[in-house]
Structures are given as structure tokens and as C-alpha cells.
Structure 1
Amino acid sequence: MGKKSVSFWENGAGFGRSEGFGQGGGGRHNDGHGSGAGRRSSVEAGEAAPEKGGSASKGGEPGLVAVPSDTLSDEAIEELKFMIEEEKLAGDLYEVFYATYGLNIFANIGASEDRHFDAVSNYAEKVGVDVDAFVFETVGEFSNPELQEMYDTLLEQGMDSLTGALEVGVAIEQKDIVDIAAAAEEVQGTALADIYQNLLQGSYAHLDAFEGLLG
């Protein structure tokens, strides 16, 4: 997928941009970090409109399919695993930033990232990909060393100031847009491509929300 190295993120840089968003949602972690689960139970509307598109399933989660019949290449499966952890990275950082700064945008978008995580991990389970290593990881821990280094770098930047945390949000969503679009290219015509398109719409909206607060 041509992912950028973590050094690309050290000054809060990102990729391109665009539009869309999401709010509310259930929790992914049982233990949390800081206010953790409390963040997800106290999500308030008001930062943006809900995401649209994709199939719905239990709990109203977008982008899930009942019985996927896709045949994925080994490369597509590796991309899927990367996307699961990349969604976790976003949710974990927003959880910490909400606990630190108390700004609702982090709670709202963090809950949306949880739904993104659920959508891709549930799909992976349905096509026989073992996702336990991701689902049961604690906040801030990642199997992929690139994502671990990226998390550590972005966490340090975001804890420096509220503006820094919002800039991290922009950088994360810009990277998500590029990575999701590239992953969708590889699986065109599948149910997974539809899920990726729904995630892409959400990332555009998250980006708009963060950029709106930064002015």
C-alpha cells in the first residue's frame, strides 16, 4: 500500500485531504486509558453528522456484511490486518487526548473510530482471519512495529498541547484517507471494498472536523 514511515509524522505532517464524519458508538476496550470506557459512554453529539453508506448490522454499526463471500489475496489480508490496527491507533490516541483535554471532538471521533475498528475486525473474523491479537491488545500497544512507533511519536506530540493534539488528529485522518483508498483499490468488487469506502467517508469527515477547530 506504500505506507509512509513514522519519520513522516514527527512534525505532524500528513497527506492530502477531502470531506464527510461520525459520532457516538460503543467501546472497544474494557480497560481503557485514563477515562477510557467512560469516554465512550459519555459521547455527546454536536461535532458533526453521522457517517452514511455501507451495510448496517447489529448495534447499527456501518459497513458490516452478514456472510462475506470474498476471496482475498495474501496481500489483501495483510492490508486488512494493518487497517484494523491503524483504526485502533486512531481510537487509542483520541481516547488519551479526550482524557487529557476533555474536548468532545476526541470523544465523538474516538467512538467513530471504534465503529471503524469493529467493522473491519468483524469482517476479518467472518472470512477466517484471526483478529484476537488486535481485539485484546491494550490501549497504546500494537503488533505492527511501524504503528507502535507512530503511536509513540504522535502521542508525544499530542500531549504537548491541545493544538498539538488537534494537529495529530489531522495527520491521522490524512494518513487514513491515503491508506484506506489504497486498500480499497486492491479489493475492488468485494464487500470489503464497500466497508473501506464507508471508512473513507468517515475519515474525510473527521479531517474536516479537526481542521475546522484549528481554523
Structure 2
Amino acid sequence: MNYIKIIVSVSLLSLIVSGSALAFRGQGKGQQANSAQNGNVCSAASLPYEDISDIESSDMLYMIEEEKLARDVYLAMYEFWNQQVFDKIAQSEQKHMAAISSLLAKYEIDYSLDDTAGIFTNPELQTLYHDLVQSGSSSLAEALRAGAAIEDLDIFDLKSRLEQTDNTDIKTVYENLMKGSENHLRAFVYQLSLLGETYSAQYLSSEEIQAIIDSENERGQYNENKGTGSQNLGKGRKGTCVNL
């Protein structure tokens, strides 16, 4: 698959995704962003409003764009390979974006996000997008490795951001996103195994990656109170939010 085809396919994808570009903007304390669809967001508004630091604010702005990176790459890979795993996880990444958007709305953090596929304000994410699409277009195995690498990075970054916040609502959303990313990583590694291929850790340690692969998929939502709520999360945890 040559470079011209990459450009054409990504351009077509951009037209599909950006048919009505979303501008995510803060809406005020306690309000959900417009991007929160069908109730599929853990309600940050229902948790206590706490003081927010500049680091917490900048971390959320970075993470929403990193979730967009995942969505855009998976949509591109779905266009190339027509494998449902990419389409399904891309839909999940859209919900991850909505979850962070709800936090930004709650804390009235003014921002806009160009929803055009493959367009990023962060130059490192922009470069990573092009690199992953180019490598993922070479073979299905490389496309699946690109997916695993994104989830590897996402988990790594979420872990570091969790260490930089003490806000219950931010921690809850990040924990939920991390659970989803771990499930996505397992899915990509499993698909690789069907091809007789493997994934090597790039951001987390090999031991951390193996521990995730060896664990069962997690269902339901993480909840800061753990012992309360209506949904069984497995491993003794319960929560009250809807799946992302």
C-alpha cells in the first residue's frame, strides 16, 4: 500500500469524521458537555467540585487529544483493513473523549478541539498520528501493533496523570479510562495472536503489559468509593456509572 493511497484514504476519512466538526467547549460548573452521548459518561458533575490546579487542567487538555489520537488512528485502520475491532474501539474512544469533556465543562476550562480526523494541536501527537497510520497501513499485523502501542501509551500517561491529581472526579474518570484502555490492549494483543504475532512493550514495562494481558477484561465502572454502587466491577469493586 503506497503513500499516495495513505493520503487519499486519510483525506476521505477526514471528510467522513468531520462532516459536522465538533467544537468541545466548557459549559459551566456541574454541566455535561454536548459530546456526552446516550448517558455513556461517568457523571463528573455528580461528584464533589474541588479546586483544580494548572497541572490538572493541562493534563486533561492533553488527555482528551490523546484519546482523539486513538480514535482517529483506529478509524483510519478500519478504512484500510475493514476489521471490526478498530471500528468498535474507535467508538469507545469517542466516549472516552466525552468523559474528559465533561470534566472540562464542569471546571469551566475553555477550549476547542478540532474534530477533523488526523488534526492535532500537540505537535508530538500530530507526528505520532502520521507515523502510526503509515506503519499500520503496511499490514494488518502492524495495524494491530499500532493499536496496542496507543493503548500502552494511554495507560502509561493515565497512570502518571493519576499521580498528579487529588480530585475525586478526575481520578474516577481517569481510572475508568484506564480500565477501558486495558481492555482495548487485550483485544489488540488477542487479534495479533490469531495471526501468530506478538506485541512488545513500548511505554509500560514488559511485566506490566504481561500482567494486563493475563488479567480478565473488566466490566462496569470504577468508583472512588469502591464498596458502593449498583454495578459489579469484578475483583470486589462496585460502581454507579455507565460503561464507557
Q: Calculate the TM-score normalised by the size of structure 1.
A: 0.71
- Unaligned 5+ runs, structure 2: 1-11, 20-35, 194-244
CA RMSD of aligned residues (A): 2.1
What CA deviation, in whole Å up to 9, does each residue of 1:137-181 have, x standing for no partner?
A: 311000111111111111111111111110000100000001011
Residue 60 of structure 1 is matched in structure 2 by 39
- Unaligned 5+ runs, structure 1: 1-30, 39-56
The change in CA–CA distance for 1:210 and 1:168 in structure 2 (over 3 A counts) is same
Residue correspondence of structure 1 range 187-206 to structure 2 within 5 A: 187-206=165-184
Residue 176 of structure 1 is matched in structure 2 by 154
What CA deviation, in whole Å up to 9, does each residue of 1:36-80 have, x standing for no partner?
A: 489xxxxxxxxxxxxxxxxxx761213232255122211111111
TM-fit CA distance, 1:187 = 1.2
Q: Is the 8 A contact 1:154 1:168 kept in 2?
A: yes
What CA deviation, in whole Å up to 9, does each residue of 1:100-138 have, x standing for no partner?
A: 111000011000000000110121122111232x1x331
TM-fit CA distance, 1:33 = 3.0
Number of residues paired by the alignment? 165
Distance in structure 2 (CA, Å) of the matches to 1:63 and 1:186: 20
In the alignment, is residue 213 of structure 1 matched against residue 161 of structure 2?
Answer: no
Residue correspondence of structure 1 range 34-49 to structure 2 within 5 A: 36=17
State the structure with more CA Rg: 2
Distance in structure 2 (CA, Å) of the matches to 1:202 and 1:209: 11
Q: Is the 8 A contact 1:33 1:96 kept in 2?
A: no
Return the structure number with greater relative CO, CA threshold 8 A, min gap 6. 1
TM-fit CA distance, 1:32 = 5.0
Q: Calculate the TM-score normalised by the size of structure 2.
A: 0.63
Q: Is the 8 A contact 1:34 1:99 kept in 2?
A: no
What CA deviation, in whole Å up to 9, does each residue of 1:5-48 have, x standing for no partner?
A: xxxxxxxxxxxxxxxxxxxxxxxxxx95376489xxxxxxxxxx
Residue 88 of structure 2 is matched in structure 1 by 108
